[in-house]
Amino acid sequence: MKIARFFVLAVFLIIALAAAPVPAADTIKVGAILGVTGPASFLGAPEAKTLEMLVEDINKKGGVKGRKIELIIKDSGASPEKAISFAKQLIEEEKVFAIIGPSTSGETMKIKGIAEEGKTILLSCAAAEVIVNPVAKYVFKTPQMDKHAVIKIFEQMKKMGISKIGVLSSNTGFGKAGKEQIEKLAPEHGITILVNEVYDKAASDLTAEVTKLKAGNVQALINWSIEPAQSIVIKNAKQIGLDVPIFQSHGFGNIQYVQAAGPAADGVIFPAGRLLVAETLPKNHPQKALLAKYKKDYETKFKEDVSTFGGHAYDALMILVKAIEKAGTDKEKVRGAIETMKGFVGTGGVFNFSPEDHNGLAMDSFEMLTVKDGKFAVLTAAGAMKTEIAPKKKK
Amino acid sequence: MNIELFFQYIVAGITYGAIYSIVAIGFNIIYNTTGIINFAQGEFVMIGGMTAVTLHSFFPLPYAILLAVIITMIAGALIEIIFIRWLVNPSVLRMIIITIGISILLREAALYIWGEKVRGLPYFTGTSVSSLSIGGVHVSPQVLWVIGISAVIVVALNLFFSYTMPGRQMRACASNRDAARLCGVSASNMITLSFVLSAGIGALAGCVVSPITYVQYESGTGLAIKGFTVAILGGLGNSMAAVAAGLILGILESLSIWVMPTAYKDVISISILLLMLFVKPSGLFGSKEAASLKEF
């Protein structure tokens, strides 16, 4: 019995040793803290896949400045505690050159200070504005601002003659940040919030919540969440006959939510990066070629639809690579190169960084999209008119 | 507030309640034979839903569901045989910890097999936008499916436990395992059977609710918490009571949204659960004597 146990242990040890990666000499170590599994897996999983794909590609072509990139992905499961310990591990033990991620705003805020103290470049894939406002010397982010998404939605509402709205959001960091921006920006855009409700992120049905909106006679509904709830809410709204235009956050930019909601998703309006509508962009659009290539590479390699979230990791890594190409492998110089980078074309838009702006994206990086026959499409004036007229006919 | 909207809230509550109670029924069977709560019950629901979605791309819907139920039943049997059967007189606490372990194992396995993608079966009748309108109150046909299938399960279980030999043997094991053994009933076979049954019911529940709630590798936990609450509320071990308690809780939650911010919805349900445990631990419809016979 004892001998058998010893053998089992020995076999395990051998496997563990064999599986451990042999550190290659003279590589550039890039750490990534991503929520590959857990509640933010729809962000972290495409981000991790994108990084793996890009790094493989870069290394095949000989690396950056002759040095290969060694990618160390840590799965935080969207837990801030894990993100903190991984950040410390990456900075102190692995001595990485830079960290990409985390996927969520809550985690990023927890490790903002750690990156700053460890003088390690952090390129966050999370959206909240607080990540780069106030500016931290070493902290950057690639997704568009929540604020810009909200303003885009309000401008669209103005065009459609909507002023009284209902807001639903989930009790997550993303939902909370969006809700705060909506509440803050609504008055200056002449929008009144009649009903403002927060639901649990694991909600299985939201019929009662949308009934409350119906009772409040709202002209439109904004939902701000990233969970399956964003499919559930549109379904329930249509089922109880709440015939108002439905707006979603940029979190809706993942085709699986459209597929999950089925015909209920048609007509939903939301702001998103241009990745989702790469085919329909005009030929001379600066992002067109890059978006089409990323989409094709990702979809052939992983056999799944590309999402804007993987794009955030794409931008983070490529910005870093571009800066290293320009400034060499000195951390301080690379940091400076990112901060002064102008006109970098990424999946999220055209980045123009400055010492005051560590995001670099302007509001025009968002496009208003809609869902048409189960597919994403650019919202045209005619499409918006149609959704606007529909509820009026009823009344 | 007009009467139409009031009834819309009631219908919303029935929707919640139907989902909770169909999940709750599964908890009762294993509890009845073993006296433990199977914390992996939510994972059976998830596996049933996931398997059905996968099979649906090869088979028509009824066959996909049937196969998914059978596959989950086999998984339930395997789990019992591998992890529980060989234990000699396990304590309740040990069994509970084992089922928690199994739930984590199943969740991770599902993540490995299906990835993190959100899925759902198509609506059994109509589509995601169709609803029946009864006097201005809208209800999705899928909700009626959930209620109907719950009813069928409850009736079938009652018949099974009252009139068939295996059913009676399971009940015998539940009330006194040693006495049942002396009468020639194989207690360990009965426990395996109870896992098979509750895995099957869980899987069926997963299939019917998946068009409404969607299914993801970790969606079992959320459903299980509410199902567990409802099972306790009704009185553990009683399927009929679980359905009644589910509908009561669902309607209370829905009405709470009418008067209070939505964020308090879960506070309501957990407060009710705590109150119940303090005041009448045997549940709304459970009897004190029956509860005192159980170890847990």
Measured between CA atoms, how close is B45 to chain A, in angstroms? 14
Q: Spell out which chain A residues touch chain B, with contact meaning CB-CB distance below 8 angstroms.
A: 37-39, 41-42, 45, 171, 197-200, 202, 204-205, 207-209, 211-212, 214-215, 228, 231-232, 235, 238-241, 256-257, 260-264, 304
Identify which of A190, A180, A195 has the alpha carbon closest to the alpha carbon of residue A154.
A190
Other beta carbons within 10 angstroms of residue A41's beta carbon come to: 26
Question: HSE of A7 in the Cβ direction (CA atoms, 13 Å)?
Answer: 4
The tokens describing B138, both together, are 């809208």
* The pLDDT value given to residue A279: 85
CB environment B45-65: b (16+ within 10 A), e (fewer): bbbbbbbbbbbbeeeeeeebb
CA distance B14 to chain A (A): 10
Helix (H, G, I), strand (E, B) or coil at B186: coil
pLDDT digits (tens, 9 = 90+) for B55-69: 999 999 999 999 999
Chain A: residue whose CA lies nearest to B210: A204
Which residues lie across from A174 on neighbouring strands?
Answer: none
Structure tokens at A31: 């750490």
Residue B287's pLDDT is: 67
pLDDT number for residue B265:
82
Residues with Cβ < 8 Å from A342, sequence gap 6 or more? A352, A353
Report pLDDT digits (tens) over B76-110.
Answer: 999 999 998 888 777 878 888 999 999 999 999 99
Counting the structural domains of chain B, the total is 1
Strands B137-139 and B132-134: antiparallel
Domain boundaries, chain A: 26-144+290-361, 147-272+367-394
Question: How close does chain A come to B217, measured CA to CA in Å?
Answer: 9
Q: In three state form, how does the secondary structure of B120-154 look?
A: CCCCCCCCCCCCEEECCEEECHHHHHHHHHHHHHH
Q: What are phi and psi of A372, to 5 degrees?
A: -130, 120
Q: Does the structure show a pLDDT above 70 at A383?
A: no
Note the pLDDT of residue A14.
61
Tell me if chain A has a CB within 8 Å of the CB of B88: no
Q: Given A37, A45, A215, which is nearest B1 (Cβ)?
A: A215
State how beta strands A367-372 and A269-272 pair: antiparallel
Mean pLDDT score across all residues of chain B: 87
Q: Which pLDDT score, from 0 to 100, does residue A3 have?
A: 60
Contacts of A304 in chain B (CB under 8 A): 117
B253 touches chain A (CB under 8 A): yes
Tokens standing for B66? 């049937």
| Residue among A207, A209, A239 minimizing CB distance to B129 | A239
The verdict on a CB contact (< 8 Å) between A204 and B16 is yes
Q: What is the mean pLDDT of residues A263-289?
A: 90
- Are residues A275 and A367 in contact, defined by beta-carbon separation less than 8 angstroms? no
The answer to whether B257 faces chain A, any CB pair under 8 Å, is yes
8-state DSSP, B59: S
Name every chain B residue with its beta carbon within 8 A of the beta carbon of A204.
16, 19, 209, 212-213, 222-223, 226
Contacts of A41 in chain B (CB under 8 A): 116
Question: What is the DSSP track for B259-294?
Answer: HS-GGGHHHHHHHHHHHHHHH-TT-SS--HHHHHHS
Nearest Cβ partner for B19 among A205, A209, A239: A205
CA–CA–CA angle B179, B180, B186 (5° rounding)? 140
- pLDDT of amino acid A96: 93
Q: Which chain A residues are closer than 8 Å to B130 by Cβ?
A: 239
What confidence score (pLDDT) does residue A390 get? 43
Compute the distance between CA of residue A286 and CA of residue A344 in angstroms, rounded to an integer: 10
**Can you list the residues of chain B whose pLDDT is less than 70?**
1, 287-296
The structure tokens 């990485």 sit at: A96
Residue range A300-320: average pLDDT?
Answer: 92
Could you tell me which of B252, B237, B253 has the C-alpha nearest to residue B285? B237
Contact A222, A196 (CB under 8 A): no
Token pair of B58, please? 């090869």
> What pLDDT score was predicted for residue A205?
87
Mean pLDDT over each residue of chain A, to the nearest integer: 87
Residue of A nearest to B131 (CA): A239
Looking at domain A26-144+290-361, its CATH class is alpha beta
Query: If we measure between CA atoms, which residue out of B84, B87, B88, B117 comes closest to residue B102?
Result: B84
Q: How far apart are CA B171 and CA A200, in angstroms?
A: 38
DSSP 3-state assignment of B90?
coil
**Distance, CA of B39 to CA of A196 (rounded, Å):** 35
Tokens describing residue B203: 């899987």
Band of residue A389 on the pLDDT scale cut at 50, 70, 90: very low
Q: What CATH number should be reported for the domain holding residue B139?
A: 1.10.3470
Calculate how close chain A gets to B214, using CA atoms only, in Å. Answer: 7
- The one-character DSSP state at B218 is T
Radius of gyration of chain A (CA): 22
Q: Note down the domain range covering B209.
A: 3-293
3-state secondary structure chain A: CHHHHHHHHHHHHHHHHHHCCCCCCCCEEEEEEECCCCCCHHHHHHHHHHHHHHHHHHHHCCCECCECEEEEEEECCCCHHHHHHHHHHHHHHCCCCEEECCCCHHHHHHHHHHHHHCCCEEEECCCCHHHCCCCCCCEEECCCCHHHHHHHHHHHHHHCCCCEEEEEEECCHHHHHHHHHHHHHCHHHCCEEEEEEEECCCCCCCHHHHHHHHHCCCCEEEEECCCCHHHHHHHHHHHCCCCCCEEECHHHCCHHHHHHHHHHHCCCEEEECHHHHHHHCCCCCCCHHHHHHHHHHHHHHHCCCCCHHHHHHHHHHHHHHHHHHHHCCCHHHHHHHHHCCCCEECCCCEECCCCCCCCCCCHHHCEEEEEECCEEEECCHHHHHHHHHHHHHHC
| CA B58 to centroid of chain Cα atoms | 27
Q: Which residue has the tokens 């459903």?
A: B223
Which tokens belong to A286?
A: 């600066």
Cβ count within 10 A of residue B175: 12
Confidence of residue A166 (pLDDT cuts 50, 70, 90): very high
Tell if the CB–CB gap between A204 and B19 is shorter than 8 Å: yes
pLDDT digits (tens, 9 = 90+) for A349-374: 999 999 999 999 988 889 999 999 88
- Compute the distance between CA of residue B268 and CA of residue B259 in angstroms, rounded to an integer: 12
- The Cα–Cα gap between A152 and A272 comes to 10
Q: How far is A49 from chain B (nearest CA, A)?
A: 12
- Mutation choice for A interface testing from B116, B209, B228, B260 by most A CBs within 10 A: B116
At the second CATH level, the architecture of A147-272+367-394 is 3-Layer(aba) Sandwich (3.40)
Pick from A198, A235, A263: which is nearest to B263 by CB?
A198
Model confidence band, residue A191 (pLDDT cutoffs 50, 70, 90): very high
Q: In whole angstroms, give the CA distance from residue A160 to residue B28.
A: 53
Q: What is the pLDDT of residue A165?
A: 95
Out of A197, A209, A231, closest to residue B214 by CB? A231
Q: Which two tokens stand for residue A146?
A: 């929540």
